[in-house]
Chain A
Amino acid sequence: MTLTAALQRTVDDFQAMEEQDRLQLLLEFADELPELPQRYADHPDLGERVAECQSPVFLFVEVDDAVHVHATAPAESPTTRGFASILAQGLEGASADEVLAVPADMPRLLGLDRVVSPLRLRGMAGMLGRIQRQVRKRTAA
Chain B
Amino acid sequence: MTETEPRFAEYASPDRLVSTEWVAAHLDDPDVVIVESDEDVLLYEVGHIPGAVKIDWHTELNDPVQRDYLSPEAFAALLGRKGIGPDTTVVFYGDKANWWATYALWVFALYGRDGTRIMDGGRDAWIAEGRELTREPANRPAVEVPVVPRDDRTLRAFRDDVLAHLGKPLVDVRSPEEYSGERTTAPAYPEEGALRAGHIPTAASVPWGKAVNEDGTFRSRAELETIYLDGAGLRGADDVIAYCRIGERSSHTWFVLTHLLGLPGVRNYDGSWTEWGSLVGVPIAVGVEPGEVPVRPGAAR
Contacts and interface: CB of A to CB of B under 8 A. Distances in A.
A116 B42 CA distance: 8
Chain A: interface size category = 20 to 34
A27 B44 CA distance: 10
Interface string A41-84: 00000000001111110000000000000000001111110100
Contacts of A120: 41, 58
A117 B188 contact: no
Given A76-B95, A117-B58, A122 B190 contact: yes
Residue with the highest number of chain B CB atoms closer than 10 Å, among A24, A26, A117, A122: A117
A115 interface: yes
A26 B42 contact: yes
17 contacts: A23-B41, A24-B45, A27-B42, A27-B45, A54-B190, A75-B46, A76-B40, A77-B40, A77-B43, A78-B43, A78-B45, A80-B40, A114-B59, A114-B64, A116-B59, A117-B58, A120-B58
The 10 closest A-B pairs by CB, nearest first: A78-B42, A117-B58, A79-B42, A27-B45, A52-B190, A78-B46, A79-B40, A116-B41, A117-B59, A77-B40
A120 B192 CA distance: 12
Contacts of B59: 114-117
Contacts of B42: 23, 26-27, 30, 78-79, 82
Contacts of A79: 40-43
Contacts of B189: 54
Interface in A5-60: 23-24, 26-27, 30, 51-56
B39 interface: yes
B214 to A, nearest CB: 16
Contacts of A116: 41, 59
Contacts of A52: 190
A53 B192 CA distance: 12
A129 to B, nearest CB: 12
Contacts of A115: 41, 59
